[in-house]
Structure 1
Amino acid sequence: MLKVLCGCLWWVGMMFGTMAHATSVVFLNPGLSTETFWVSYAQFMQAAAKDLGLDLRVRYSERDRQNTLQQAREALQGPQPPDYLVLVNEQYIAPQILRMAQGSQVKLLIVNNALTPDQTQLLDAGKYPNWLGSITANDEEGGYLMLKELLRQRGPVPAGESLDLLAFSGAKHTPTAQAREQGLQRALREHPEVHLRQLVYGEWSRQRAFEQATQMFKRYPKTALVWSANDEMALGAMQALDGSARTPGKEVLFSAVNSSPDVLQARLQGRISALVAGHFTVGGWAMVLLHDDAAGVDIQRHGGRERQVRLFQLIDEPQAQRLLDLRNHEGDSVDFHALSALDKPAAYPYPFSLQMLLK
């Protein structure tokens, strides 16, 4: 009996010891706690963290820059700092947090919005030995793919004719928005028959894009294409067109980014003609990197310090339905442990891809 009791106590001690030493991560989520994209982003991260045995805490800034800075200060200077701090360079905030972390033992990883070239030039990376780098999606390519697909769906433009385009970008001081704009401009250079009549900053907001589009459709009544840097702005612009003599997906073709239920339904209904998605998975893949770093893997050998992953892809109707069916359980079908570089060859490339969810 005593032997059994001792064995039980040993097992309980081991369990509590494992829990106490779980690698801890704080994610400074720049979005609203009610914002579909950032909530689904955090859910995928949590699924990865659970599978990998990481203790993840998500803090929402509610799109307030000062909230993010305060949350970073609390994480870095509090009584129990985490092992890792994951942040987004939204509104160019990353350098301040990197400086705040100097002298701390907390390791930092930037996701989604990497440092801009100007920020990188101004920062001396050698001063931040705990900065692991960044992992981002191919936003420029995402912006490019949307316009190319809109034109493919529209068909050839007769010689001498042109198409009017309206564009809705996100927050002006956000690297992601800028990269998607660059992709749009690349596609425009390849298609001089497309005339960009106006580009506005919809701040990722459905209501703001609705108000902007209401005026823009009056100003440019021959609009044939609408390019949007996220789903909310595309849905707002479509709402502004509803009630007119023109129909989304017919007389006016719309594009969007993301995989919210509303935009997936719009893709299935044909109201959205070009949809790209995949970057909501970035945070989950970041958890794999942190798991490996904690285990002693030199993750820079498997993709470099500033890694960009080709996550954006065009979403067809069957894939839109698949993502709808997976809603809130996107991470359940992914074996995150299997993606680890532990015990893999030096040339092993992390196989991060949206296809892991769509297969």
Structure 2
Amino acid sequence: MLKALCQSLCLVLPLAASAQPVSVVFLNPGLSTETFWTTYTRFMQAAADELGMTLRVEYSERRADLALSHARAILNGPQRPDYLVLVNEQYVAPEIMRLSRGTGVKLFLVNNGLTASQALSIEAQPDKYAEPLGTLVSNDEEAGFQMLHQMVAQLPRDSGPVDLLAFAGVNTTPASQLRVEGMRRALADYPQVRLRQVVYGGWNRQRAYEQAQQLLLRYPDTRLVWSANDEMAFGAMQAFEEAGRRPGHDVLFGTINSSPEALRARIDGRLSVLLGGHFTLGGWAMVMLHDDAQGVPVNRDGLREHRVPVLQVIDQAKAKRWLELLERSDYGVDFLHYSAEGRPASYQYPFLTSPINY
């Protein structure tokens, strides 16, 4: 009997010892030097560390061809991860979904989901593409809408016609398109606000600076500058300051992202409106992937795609608090607390339905 027990233990123990942590690769679409995307990676890594997962990040440096090269190497390589997290930046998702079919790697989309036309094309050819486990996108349209509302609210009540300039990101990025749509929807509430021009700054500070120099010559009376991210806002701000304009006084800037530079500019009033929080989506995806690996259904509400209210207005008090949190390796978040593991079937992920207060 002892011999049989020993043999049994010898069979079980090597299996337990060889158990590997859940592996995730994130195809980061941004620059490896870009504050938003490096912060995004840090938040994901904090989640991975706490949840006992491994995370590898491949930066695509804002190049669709490099994103696809990374995807091919990962999906065709000898050590495939359990999960591949990707962003539909520059519309790369369908090709990666095609490449992943039959590999055993589960896909999860964050920040930019499939466009309506992409989804229809994929639905028409279900045998060609792997279906993602889930998709988390932020409330970009609402953020674009709220930004303009908050900016106009800070104008004097007796303001006459007001000129507005808008800096969009990239026209092949759904998040950029949605933010602009929200801004245009808000314009219907303010007939006195005249949108003079929308330009695509490519999320880039230098490009927005050069564009703003030209736009100022064309529209010297501009009093509102709406920007889809902070890098473009700071580029435009530099051009206005060089022209003798004072941010927060005779021209108001609104933007999205919670970089330390943006938080400090919100505190000192150079940014009049700031929204942020969407850098957390990758971390929440990690919570869901952790649960999936434990056999816990992540589409507990029957949905595979969620628009998550992560983008929230950052006032000066919140900006000070977030600056402190950015200094912490775990961002002050208890990721295990949000896991569905061990919870009743009725449990819903709280981050899917309401903003998390940091």
The answer to whether the superposition gives a TM-score over 0.5 is yes
| Cα deviation 1:314-351 (Å, max 9, x = unaligned) | 10001111111122526341111110112323332211
| Deviation, structure 1 residue 170 | 0.2
Q: Summarize the Cα distance change of 1:332–1:216 in structure 2 as closer, same or farther, 3 Å threshold.
A: closer
Please state if 1:212 is matched with 2:211.
yes
Provide the C-alpha distance between the structure 2 equivalents of 1:123 and 1:76, rounded to a whole number of angstroms: 20
| Deviation, structure 1 residue 62 | 1.2
CA contact (8 A) 1:88 1:111 kept: yes
Runs of at least 5 residues in structure 2 that lack an aligned partner in the other structure: 1-5
| Deviation, structure 1 residue 153 | 1.1
CA contact (8 A) 1:217 1:223 kept: yes
| Deviation, structure 1 residue 264 | 1.0
Provide the C-alpha distance between the structure 2 equivalents of 1:227 and 1:357, rounded to a whole number of angstroms: 25
| Cα deviation 1:226-251 (Å, max 9, x = unaligned) | 00000000000110011333200000
CA contact (8 A) 1:302 1:346 kept: no
Please state if 1:288 is matched with 2:291.
no
Q: Secondary structure in 1 aligned to 2:330?
A: helix
1:156 is matched with: 157
Matches within 5 A, 1:16-165: 17=17, 20-124=19-123, 126-127=126-127, 128=129, 130-158=131-159, 161-165=160-164
Please state if 1:318 is matched with 2:317.
yes
Provide the C-alpha distance between the structure 2 equivalents of 1:241 and 1:146, rounded to a whole number of angstroms: 20
Q: Summarize the Cα distance change of 1:130–1:197 in structure 2 as closer, same or farther, 3 Å threshold.
A: closer
2:305 is matched with: 306
Q: How many aligned residue pairs are there? A: 346
Q: Which 4+ residue blocks in structure 1 deviate beyond 6 angstroms? A: 13-16
2:3 is matched with: none
Q: Which amino acid aligns with 1:232?
A: E
Matches within 5 A, 1:266-285: 266-285=265-284
Provide the C-alpha distance between the structure 2 equivalents of 1:154 and 1:14, rounded to a whole number of angstroms: 69
TM-score in terms of structure 1 length:
0.91
| Deviation, structure 1 residue 172 | 1.1
Q: Which amino acid aligns with 2:139?
A: N
Q: Secondary structure in 2 aligned to 1:131?
A: coil
* Root-mean-square deviation over aligned CA pairs: 2.1
Provide the C-alpha distance between the structure 2 equivalents of 1:36 and 1:86, rounded to a whole number of angstroms: 19
CA contact (8 A) 2:81 2:105 kept: yes
1:177 is matched with: 176
| Cα deviation 1:153-177 (Å, max 9, x = unaligned) | 114345xx31100000001110010
Mean CA deviation greater in 329-338 or 203-212: 329-338
Please state if 1:255 is matched with 2:232.
no
CA contact (8 A) 1:330 1:357 kept: no
Provide the C-alpha distance between the structure 1 equivalents of 2:241 and 2:202, rounded to a whole number of angstroms: 21
Provide the C-alpha distance between the structure 1 equivalents of 2:39 and 2:20, rounded to a whole number of angstroms: 27
Q: Which amino acid aligns with 1:58?
A: V
Provide the C-alpha distance between the structure 2 equivalents of 1:14 and 1:150, rounded to a whole number of angstroms: 62
Q: Which amino acid aligns with 2:298?
A: I
CA contact (8 A) 1:26 1:84 kept: yes
TM-score in terms of structure 2 length:
0.92
| Deviation, structure 1 residue 17 | 2.5
Provide the C-alpha distance between the structure 2 equivalents of 1:14 and 1:249, rounded to a whole number of angstroms: 64
Mean CA deviation greater in 344-353 or 66-75: 344-353
Q: Which amino acid aligns with 1:132?
A: L
| Deviation, structure 1 residue 302 | 3.7
CA contact (8 A) 1:303 1:350 kept: no
Q: Secondary structure in 2 aligned to 1:172?
A: coil
Q: Secondary structure in 1 aligned to 2:300?
A: helix
Provide the C-alpha distance between the structure 1 equivalents of 2:274 and 2:203, rounded to a whole number of angstroms: 16
CA contact (8 A) 1:105 1:130 kept: no
Runs of at least 5 residues in structure 1 that lack an aligned partner in the other structure: 1-5
CA contact (8 A) 2:97 2:130 kept: no
1:329 is matched with: 328
| Deviation, structure 1 residue 136 | 0.8
Provide the C-alpha distance between the structure 2 equivalents of 1:203 and 1:185, rounded to a whole number of angstroms: 19
| Deviation, structure 1 residue 130 | 4.8
Q: Secondary structure in 2 aligned to 1:47?
A: helix
| Deviation, structure 1 residue 291 | 0.5
CA contact (8 A) 1:165 1:198 kept: yes
